């Protein structure tokens, strides 16, 4: 471990590297415990750097074997080296070659950063600072070099050897070893380096780019699972086609490889030409993967592929610019998924994720600007703020300037910065250049932490046929106003009021770039209901004082799908926070009318309308003194009321959408939408009548022909105590005992049961043969699901839930600090809990703080969680 009190790295302190590296030649001789790495670096002084600086190379847990300068050994007094770095005190002030030989132990690398070996496969993860665990290096994103990599291994241990770029040469080494040489002609930073060695099967196909290049596309998986890689390979091809069509970006190598591994800290990594994936985002078959799994595979395959341009060809100058590649690429993968599926349904999913993850982050002690100004551990800034809010900023930019100008700006950005390490300023400059706009005020979105609040108040003058709407923005921190695109319209009793006019709108959008503004609509023939933030045009909290009746008009009559869904969510949230059976009955009646008219026309959208706000969203709506038990009880009571009131309609839906009507399984949007509504109906039936729901779910579980229906039925059964539940869980676990990714779902279902016995259940499951603390997927499935998705038991008043997660953090920290730190973020909202729970959380956090030698990852999260307001 590196330090218990990590120093801050600040954006204002950025300085160009004193040296640059033009070429990197690597010779990596793989061995389970003693891998030998020879790195030959072609260096030269950076004209923009400090001309008198020594050469300092980053390192982490390395053993130096040899060091040569221009072919001659470096004298011991001319350098210092230890496990954490190497400094050449008097480097040449001319181009020179440095040869370093280091040794690492891949098997002992439980942090899964750098080069590691797990489940018999050699693998790398170098973002953000893992390459320094392979060799001493200028491990920073603004140092870009051309790499040639020779990989050698025992043939029986690693018959497949993969690297960045294009394959150059393969051959034998003696009787039992072999080698492969890979060359990447495109300069890249060290964080994009990758290699894989192991026993792997593959599926492959060929794609011809718009530029006429024939690309061999392959997906490598554990042998015997090739039949589960087809959907991922198809997603690769669709991503390539879409990026050419939507952004004009063609692929630039002869091969594109995807490798699925089971031990991986992240979801996936966009290494140039060799994307490495957590296997949960590659492997899919109807018997083992849900509709949500298929959608995630499609999105994440696309995300990593799109990084080839937004991240690789154009990378970020420093890690403060992380949103430049991640936020932009999230926007790109969201647009891809919207085109592949239902755009309104996908947009609702994007916003649900933003509100569930990013809004609480922005309101808690871990909040930070989309472009941070300082960090202690960069691994802790791969956050919802950088990714999801960063994507929303790009979306707002497109809204402001229009689709045509946005595409022109993207073309300009790629053209101006190809092969460079860019900044947010470079990105915005491209759009300013093609539009002539001053985007300096818009750039404040990258600088401000916290979620702005938009207030809307309207008055109607019937005699004049005039509606006046006042918009006000309130910022979480002081400063000049933000530029907020507000998409809006007016809705009457029968639908949108198309005759109403307002000169301040441009294409239905008003740009609020000052603290407040007043909009006047003329030709308004009836009292309207304002539909504000259509399609969620800005990542703000909306304060809009409407009655239930007015909101339900939006559900029934608005033309904007997002705000129709939002109206139902708003009414449901108010009923959870302030229960009222009479208002609940009116809500049920409105939902019934909606289902009668539209459920079968768009089942996926109907399922979203039926889904109540989560307990986390309800907690996020409260300013302080949150009682998770009270929220759970109120939400459950509303589910019971809706399940009983809607029962006849739910039964009819269940019959109309019965599995027998599905046909062969397909993960595409239309059949997935039918399953989602069918399972939403099952969930509400069980809430209103647990006995009938359990019987129906048990039958569904037995008859299910796919994992989506099977898991939905098991989830319903898991919420109904009794012997039938335990029997169903046991039989499911036995049936899928040799399917780790399915068992992850099984772990998660049990970890999120909102009952006092869940802690004992989790304790038993940690001793299950399939569970291992060394595998991040298993830990996230069991402990992570409990911490993030079971608020009543994680935040138990007796502190036992906090203790379970806190002790896991302690146990994991020395072995895998990244996973431990991510678990610790579950405490982010502890200050907003009611006093008893708040005290228990505080005691647990201080107990972790008392552990000597905490990793930098955990120490950073812990310090901000305890100190933040």
- Distances in Å between the alpha carbon of 156 and those of 131, 197, 762? 27, 11, 39
- Apex 155 CA angle, 153 and 157, nearest 5: 80
What single-letter DSSP state applies at residue 515?
S
How many C-beta neighbours within 10 Å does residue 790 have? 24
* DSSP string of 780-803, one letter each residue: IIIIIHHHHH-HHHHT-TTSHHHH
| Residue 671, token pair as written in the block | 């059949």
Beta bridge partners of 68: 73, 99
Q: Provide the greatest CA pair distance for the chain.
A: 95
What single-letter DSSP state applies at residue 706?
S
Q: Is residue 617 flagged as an active site residue?
A: no
The residue with tokens 């304002």 is 530
User: Can you list the alpha helix ranges (DSSP code H) found in 474-560?
Assistant: 548-557
Cα R_g (the chain), whole angstroms: 28
* DSSP string of 130-148, one letter each residue: TGGGTS-B--STT--EEEE
Distance of CA 677 to the CA centre of its chain: 25
- Apex 787 CA angle, 783 and 793, nearest 5: 105
| Dist CA 302 CA 231 (whole Å) | 12
| Dist CA 361 CA 497 (whole Å) | 38
| Dist CA 110 CA 45 (whole Å) | 36
| Dist CA 16 CA 140 (whole Å) | 10
Of 236, 272, 29, 23, residue with least CA distance to 134: 29
The H or E element spanning position 215 is strand 214-221
Strands 214-221 and 255-261: parallel
How many C-beta neighbours within 10 Å does residue 479 have? 10
Phi, psi of 708 (to 5 degrees): -60, -55
End-to-end CA distance of the chain: 28
Kindly give, in sequence order, each residue whose CB lies less than 8 Å from that of residue 449, ignoring residues fewer than 6 positions away. 362, 367, 368, 369, 385, 476, 477
| Three-state DSSP state, 482 | coil
Tell me the Ramachandran region of residue 771: left when phi exceeds 0, alpha when psi lies from -120 to 50, beta otherwise: beta
| Residue 40, token pair as written in the block | 């030959």
Contact between residue 290 and residue 748 where contact means Cβ atoms under 8 Å apart: no
* DSSP string of 294-308, one letter each residue: HHHHHHHHHHHHHTT
Kindly give, in sequence order, each residue whose CB lies less than 8 Å from that of residue 587, ignoring residues fewer than 6 positions away. 548, 552, 571, 572, 575, 642
Catalytic site residue from 127, 157, 304, 361 = 304
Virtual CA dihedral for 108, 111, 116, 120, nearest 10 degrees?
80
| Three-state DSSP state, 149 | strand
| Residue 605, token pair as written in the block | 């959208």
Burial class (CB in 10 A: 0-12, 13-18, 19+), 175: exposed
Strands 255-261 and 274-278: parallel
Of 574, 571, 508, 568, residue with least CA distance to 537: 508
| Residue 93, token pair as written in the block | 């002030």
The residue with tokens 């069991």 is 782
The residues that are catalytic are 304
């Amino acid at each position: 471990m590196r330090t218990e009190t990590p120093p801050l790295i600040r954006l204002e302190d950025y300085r160009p590297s004193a040296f640059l590296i033009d070429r990197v030649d690597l010779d990596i001789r793989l061995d389970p415990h003693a891998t030998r790495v020879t790195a030959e670096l072609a260096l030269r002084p950076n004209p923009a750097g400090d001309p008198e600086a020594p050469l300092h190379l980053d390192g982490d847990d390395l053993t130096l074997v040899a060091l040569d300068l221009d072919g001659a050994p470096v004298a011991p007094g001319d350098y210092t080296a230890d496990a954490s770095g190497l400094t050449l005190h008097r480097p040449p002030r001319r181009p020179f070659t440095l040869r370093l030989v280091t040794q690492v132990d891949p098997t002992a690398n439980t942090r899964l950063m750098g080069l590691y070996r797990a489940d018999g496969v050699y693998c790398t993860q170098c973002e953000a600072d893992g390459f320094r665990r392979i060799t001493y290096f200028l491990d920073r994103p603004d140092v870009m070099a051309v790499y040639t990599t020779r990989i050698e291994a025992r043939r029986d241990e690693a018959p497949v050897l993969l690297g960045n770029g294009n394959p150059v040469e393969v051959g034998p080494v003696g009787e039992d070893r072999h080698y492969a040489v890979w060359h990447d002609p495109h300069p890249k930073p060290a964080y994009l380096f990758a290699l894989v060695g192991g026993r792997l099967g593959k599926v492959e196909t060929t794609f011809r780019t718009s530029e006429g290049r024939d690309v061999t596309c392959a997906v490598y998986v554990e042998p015997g699972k090739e039949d589960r890689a087809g959907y991922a390979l198809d997603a690769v091809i669709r991503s390539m086609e879409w990026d050419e069509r939507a952004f004009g970006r063609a692929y630039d190598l002869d091969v594109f490889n995807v490798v699925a591994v089971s031990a991986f800290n992240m979801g996936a990594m966009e290494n140039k030409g060799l994307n490495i994936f957590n296997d949960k985002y590659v492997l899919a078959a109807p018997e083992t993967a849900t509709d949500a799994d298929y959608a995630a595979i499609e999105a994440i395959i696309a995300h990593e592929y799109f990084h080839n341009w937004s991240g690789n060809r154009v990378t970020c100058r420093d890690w403060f610019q992380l949103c430049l590649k991640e936020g932009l690429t999230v926007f790109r993968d969201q647009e891809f998924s919207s085109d592949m599926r239902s755009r309104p349904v996908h947009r609702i999913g994007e916003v649900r994720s933003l509100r569930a993850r990013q809004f609480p982050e922005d309101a808690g002690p871990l909040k930070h600007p989309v472009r941070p100004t300082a960090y202690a551990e960069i691994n802790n800034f791969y956050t919802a703020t950088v990714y999801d809010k960063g994507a929303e900023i790009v979306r707002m930019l497109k809204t402001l300037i229009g689709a045509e100008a946005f595409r022109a700006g993207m073309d300009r950005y790629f053209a101006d910065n190809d092969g460079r390490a860019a900044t947010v300023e470079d990105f915005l400059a491209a759009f300013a250049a093609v539009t002539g706009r001053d985007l300096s005020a818009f750039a404040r979105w990258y600088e401000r932490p916290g979620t702005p609040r938009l207030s809307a108040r309207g008055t109607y003058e019937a005699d004049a046929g005039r509606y006046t709407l006042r918009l006000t923005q309130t910022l979480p921190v002081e400063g000049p106003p933000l530029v907020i695109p507000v998409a809006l319209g007016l809705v009457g009793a029968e639908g949108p009021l198309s005759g109403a006019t307002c000169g301040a709108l441009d294409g239905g959008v008003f740009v609020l770039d000052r603290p407040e503004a007043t909009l006047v609509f003329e030709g308004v023939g009836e009292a309207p209901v304002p539909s504000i933030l259509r399609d969620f045009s800005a990542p703000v909290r909306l304060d809009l004082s409407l009655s239930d009746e007015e909101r339900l008009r939006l559900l029934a009559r608005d033309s904007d799908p997002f705000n129709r869904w939002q109206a139902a969510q708003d009414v449901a949230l108010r009923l959870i926070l302030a229960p009222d059976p009479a208002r609940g009955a009116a809500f049920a009646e409105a939902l019934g009318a909606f289902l009668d008219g539209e459920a079968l026309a768009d089942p996926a959208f109907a399922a979203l309308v039926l889904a109540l706000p989560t307990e986390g969203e309800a907690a996020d709506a409260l300013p302080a003194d949150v009682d998770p038990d009270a929220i759970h009880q109120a939400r459950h009571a509303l589910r019971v009321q809706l399940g009983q009131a809607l029962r006849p309609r739910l039964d009819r839906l269940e019959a109309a959408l019965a599995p027998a009507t599905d046909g062969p399984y397909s993960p595409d949007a239309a059949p997935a939408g039918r399953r989602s509504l069918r399972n939403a109906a099952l969930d509400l039936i069980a809430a209103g009548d647990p006995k009938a729901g359990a019987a129906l779910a048990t039958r569904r579980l037995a008859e299910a022909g796919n994992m989506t229906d099977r898991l939905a039925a098991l989830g319903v059964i898991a919420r109904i105590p009794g012997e039938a539940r335990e029997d169903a869980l046991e039989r499911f676990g036995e049936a899928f005992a040799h399917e780790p990714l399915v068992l992850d779902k099984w772990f998660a279902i049990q970890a999120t049961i909102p009952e006092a016995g869940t802690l004992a259940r989790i304790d038993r499951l940690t001793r299950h043969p399939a569970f291992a603390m060394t595998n991040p997927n298993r830990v996230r499935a069991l402990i992570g699901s409990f911490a993030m998705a079971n608020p009543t038991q994680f935040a138990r008043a007796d502190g036992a839930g906090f203790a379970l997660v806190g002790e896991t953090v302690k146990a994991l920290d020395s072995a895998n600090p990244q996973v431990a730190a991510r678990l610790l973020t579950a405490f982010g909202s502890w200050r907003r809990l009611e006093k008893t729970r708040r005290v228990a959380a505080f005691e647990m956090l201080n107990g972790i703080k008392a552990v000597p030698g905490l990793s930098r990852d955990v120490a950073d999260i812990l310090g901000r969680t305890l100190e933040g307001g």
